[in-house]
Amino acid sequence: MKQWKKVMSAAMVTAMTVGMLAGCGGNDKNEGSSGSSGNSESGEAVFKIGSIGPVTGGAAIYGEAVKNGAELAVKEINEAGGINGVQIELNFQDDENDPEKAVNAYNTLKDWGMQALLGTVTSAPCVAVGSEAMNDNMFLLTPSGTAVECVQGENAFRVCFSDPMQGVESAKYISDNKLASKVAVIYDSSDVYSTGIYNSFAAEAKNTGIEIVAAEAFTAESKTDFSVQLQKAKDAGAELVFLPFYYSEAALVLQQAAGMNYAPIFFGCDGMDGILGVEGFKAENAQDLMFLSPFTPTSDDETIVKFVTDFEAAYSGTPNQFAADAYDGIYAIKAAMEKAEVTPDMSASDICEAMKTAMTEITIDGVTAKGLTWEASGEPSKEPMVVKIADGDYAVVE
Amino acid sequence: MKMKAMNKTTKTNFITYLLVIVIYIVVQTLVMSGSMSSLMQGLLVPLCAYVILAVSLNLTVGILGELSLGHAGFMCVGAFSSAFFSKCMVDVIPSAGLRFFFALLIGAVTAGVFGILIGIPVLRLKGDYLAIVTLAFGEIIKNIVNIMFIGKDANGFHFSTKDAVSLGMEPDGVIIVNGPQGITGTPKDSTFTIGVILILITLFIVLNLIHSRSGRAIMAIRDNRIAAESVGINVTKYKMMAFSVSAALAGVAGVIYAHNLATLTAQPKNFGYNMSIMILVFVVLGGIGNIRGSIIAAIVLTLLPELLRGLSDYRMLIYAIVLIVMMLYNWSPKAIQWRKKYLYFLKFKVEEEV
Asked if the Cβ–Cβ distance from B300 to A195 is below 8 Å, we say no
Give the helix ranges, DSSP H, for B181-272: 192-210, 213-223, 225-230, 235-258, 268-271
Least Cα distance to A195 among A146, A231, A159 occurs for: A146
Q: Hey, is A289 helix, strand or coil? A: coil
The interaxial angle of helices B96-122 and B235-258, nearest 10 deg, is 150
Asked if the Cβ–Cβ distance from B42 to A103 is below 8 Å, we say yes
- Quote the minimal CA–CA distance from B326 to chain A in Å: 10
Asked if the Cβ–Cβ distance from B146 to A106 is below 8 Å, we say no
Least Cα distance to A114 among A150, A140, A134, A94 occurs for: A140
Yes or no: say if B207 and B16 are a contact pair by the CB < 8 Å rule.
yes
- Quote the minimal CA–CA distance from B245 to chain A in Å: 26
Strands B156-160 and B149-153 turn out to be antiparallel
Q: Is the pLDDT of residue B117 over 60?
A: yes
Phi, psi angles (nearest 5°) of residue A296:
-130, 125
Q: Which residues contact B348 (CB under 8 A, 6 or more apart)?
A: none
The Cα–Cα gap between B77 and B60 comes to 18
Residues of chain A with CATH 3.40.50.2300: 46-160+302-382, 164-293
Residues of B in contact with A6 (CB under 8 A): 347, 350-351, 354
Q: Is the pLDDT of residue B348 over 70?
A: no
The Cα–Cα gap between A303 and A310 comes to 11
- Quote the minimal CA–CA distance from A69 to chain B in Å: 18
The Cα–Cα gap between B198 and B192 comes to 10
Residue B113: Cβ-neighbour burial (10 angstroms; 0-12, 13-18, 19+):
middle
Q: Hey, is B198 helix, strand or coil? A: helix
Least Cα distance to B276 among B81, B113, B116, B73 occurs for: B73
Q: Within 10 A of B230 (CB to CB), how many other CB atoms are there?
A: 9
The Cα–Cα gap between A66 and A320 comes to 9
Q: Which residues contact B212 (CB under 8 A, 6 or more apart)?
A: none
Mean pLDDT for the stretch of residues B275-295: 90
Residues of B in contact with A10 (CB under 8 A): 346, 349-350, 353
Q: Hey, is A331 helix, strand or coil? A: helix
The Cα–Cα gap between A51 and B304 comes to 21
Omega within 30 of 0 (cis) for the link into A120 = yes
Mean pLDDT for the stretch of residues B190-201: 94
B74 vs B315, which has greater pLDDT?
Answer: B74
The Cα–Cα gap between B354 and B349 comes to 9
Radius of gyration of chain A (CA): 23
Q: Which of B140, B142, B184, B336 to mutate to test the interface with A (most CBs of A within 10 A)?
A: B184
Segment (H or E) for B112 = helix B96-122
**Interface contact A117, partner B, CB < 8 A:** no
Mean pLDDT for the stretch of residues B48-69: 93
Alpha carbon B266 to its chain's center = 16
Strands B183-184 and B263-264 turn out to be antiparallel
Phi, psi angles (nearest 5°) of residue B10:
-60, -40
Interface of B with A in 304-333 (CB under 8 A): 304, 306-307, 309-310, 312-313, 315-316, 329-330
For chains A and B, what is the number of CB pairs under 8 angstroms? 170
The Cα–Cα gap between A91 and A115 comes to 11
User: What CATH superfamily is the domain A46-160+302-382?
Assistant: Response regulator (3.40.50.2300)
Mean pLDDT of chain B: 86
**Interface contact A190, partner B, CB < 8 A:** yes
Beta strands across the sheet bearing A156-158: A87-94, A46-53, A116-119, A139-142, A156-158
Interface of A with B in 204-243 (CB under 8 A): 215, 219
**Interface contact B40, partner A, CB < 8 A:** yes
Least Cα distance to B247 among B100, B130, B77 occurs for: B77
Q: Which of A135, A190, A223 to mutate to test the interface with B (most CBs of B within 10 A)?
A: A190
Helix and strand counts by DSSP (H, E) for chain A: 11, 14
**Interface contact B5, partner A, CB < 8 A:** no
Q: Which residues contact A87 (CB under 8 A, 6 or more apart)?
A: A40, A44, A46, A47, A78
Closest to B43 (Cβ–Cβ): which among A24, A104, A128? A104
The Cα–Cα gap between A253 and B97 comes to 51
Residue A188: beta bridge partners?
A218
- Quote the minimal CA–CA distance from B262 to chain A in Å: 5
Least Cα distance to A264 among A236, A292, A244, A283 occurs for: A236
Q: Which of A127, A134, A207, A221 to mutate to test the interface with B (most CBs of B within 10 A)?
A: A127
Asked if the Cβ–Cβ distance from B180 to A203 is below 8 Å, we say no
Q: pLDDT at position A36, please?
A: 39
Yes or no: say if A40 and A86 are a contact pair by the CB < 8 Å rule.
no
Residues of A in contact with B349 (CB under 8 A): 10
The Cα–Cα gap between A298 and A289 comes to 16
Can you give the CATH number for the domain in which B95 is found?
A: 1.10.3470
Yes or no: say if A51 and A90 are a contact pair by the CB < 8 Å rule.
yes
Q: Is the pLDDT of residue B179 over 90?
A: no
Give the helix ranges, DSSP H, for A341-398: 348-361
Residues of B in contact with A13 (CB under 8 A): 296
Sign of CA dihedral A194, A197, A200, A206: negative
Asked if the Cβ–Cβ distance from A104 to B315 is below 8 Å, we say no
The Cα–Cα gap between A252 and A258 comes to 10
The Cα–Cα gap between A261 and A267 comes to 17
Match domain A164-293 to its CATH number in 2.40.50.140, 3.40.50.620, 3.40.50.2300, 3.40.50.300. 3.40.50.2300
Mean pLDDT for the stretch of residues B95-104: 91
Yes or no: say if B281 and B301 are a contact pair by the CB < 8 Å rule.
yes
Q: How many domains does chain B have?
A: 1
The Cα–Cα gap between A299 and A306 comes to 11
Radius of gyration of chain B (CA): 22
Domain residues for the domain of B260 are: 2-353
Residue B277: Cβ-neighbour burial (10 angstroms; 0-12, 13-18, 19+):
middle
Yes or no: say if A110 and B38 are a contact pair by the CB < 8 Å rule.
yes
Mean pLDDT for the stretch of residues B179-184: 82
Least Cα distance to A105 among B264, B312, B182 occurs for: B312
Kindly report the CA angle at A141 between A139 and A145, in degrees rounded to 5?
Answer: 135
Yes or no: say if A184 and A242 are a contact pair by the CB < 8 Å rule.
yes
- Quote the minimal CA–CA distance from B271 to chain A in Å: 11
Q: How many CA atoms lie within 13 A of B214 on its CB side?
A: 15
- Quote the minimal CA–CA distance from A152 to chain B in Å: 10
B40 vs B156, which has greater pLDDT?
Answer: B40
The Cα–Cα gap between B237 and B217 comes to 10
**Interface contact A4, partner B, CB < 8 A:** yes
Q: What is the widest separation between alpha-carbon atoms in chain A?
A: 78
Q: pLDDT at position B220, please?
A: 94
For chain A, what's the residue count? 398
Please give the average pLDDT of every successive group of 10 residues along chain A, which has 398 residues: 56 52 40 43 79 85 90 93 90 88 91 91 89 91 88 89 88 87 88 84 87 86 86 91 88 90 89 77 84 81 90 87 91 92 90 91 88 89 83 78
The Cα–Cα gap between A146 and B10 comes to 55
**Interface contact B184, partner A, CB < 8 A:** yes
